[in-house]
Amino acid sequence: ESTYSTTSPMVAAPSPLLVTGGTDTELERDHEKAAREGTIRSSNESREEEAPREFSSQSLRQGSIGKRLSILPTGDKVAPPRRKVRHRKVKQGQTIFKGHPSWNIMMNLKLGITYTVGRLGSIPDRPLVSADLRAKFKQLFVPDGSATTPAHSAKEFTIKDHAPLAFRQIRERFGVSEQDYVISLCGDKSLREL
């Protein structure tokens, strides 16, 4: 059986079969040509002179060394163009101004959030219990105000506060003070888009 080897032990010449590809007939033809030129030795020769990389013709035919690679473009097969997936765009909110139909809703939200966060300041800190997670508080806001709510120019509305102690503790754990929270939601420039 014959093996491919390079002439210099330091430089390994790339096999043209591994670069150009081809059929088994081409492989045998190239192998015979290399045998005539004297670049192939029989397996009986001394292994001291052989290069560290060698390929046998049988292992190349069986594909045990690896598939022959083709670096040349084929050109006859082109993948069909991929169809673009369309995504729905997120609708932007409307900017709210005085006189807009949502103006009163925005003002009611600001007043309700300010009131409920401020009311929590009077409740002392304590460990949460499971009832705190289910707690709901409703507060009626009348235009003239009451003993607990301020007067306002909008119609009567109700605010429902869900688990206020639990959300206060979440804000505290993330380092958000009550004042920063109220300013971020109820400041002059906030809640302008609904």
Rounded distance, CA 41 to CA 34, Å? 10
Asked whether 168 and 124 are in contact (CB, 8 A), the reply is: no
Long-range contacts of 122-127 (CB under 8 A, 24+ apart): 123/165, 126/165
Angle at CA 59, nearest 5°, toward 57 and 63? 120
Domains of the chain in sequence order: 2-62 (no CATH), 103-186 (3.30.800.10)
pTM to 2 decimal places: 0.50
Rounded distance, CA 57 to CA 15, Å? 11
Rounded distance, CA 68 to CA 81, Å? 28
Token code pair at residue 24:
């088994």
Burial of 60 (0-12, 13-18, 19+ CB in 10 A): buried
pLDDT in tens, the chain (194 residues): 445 544 445 554 444 444 444 555 666 666 677 666 665 554 444 444 444 455 555 555 555 444 554 454 555 667 777 777 777 665 566 778 888 888 888 899 999 999 999 998 888 889 999 999 999 999 999 999 999 899 998 899 999 999 999 999 999 999 999 999 998 888 877 776 65
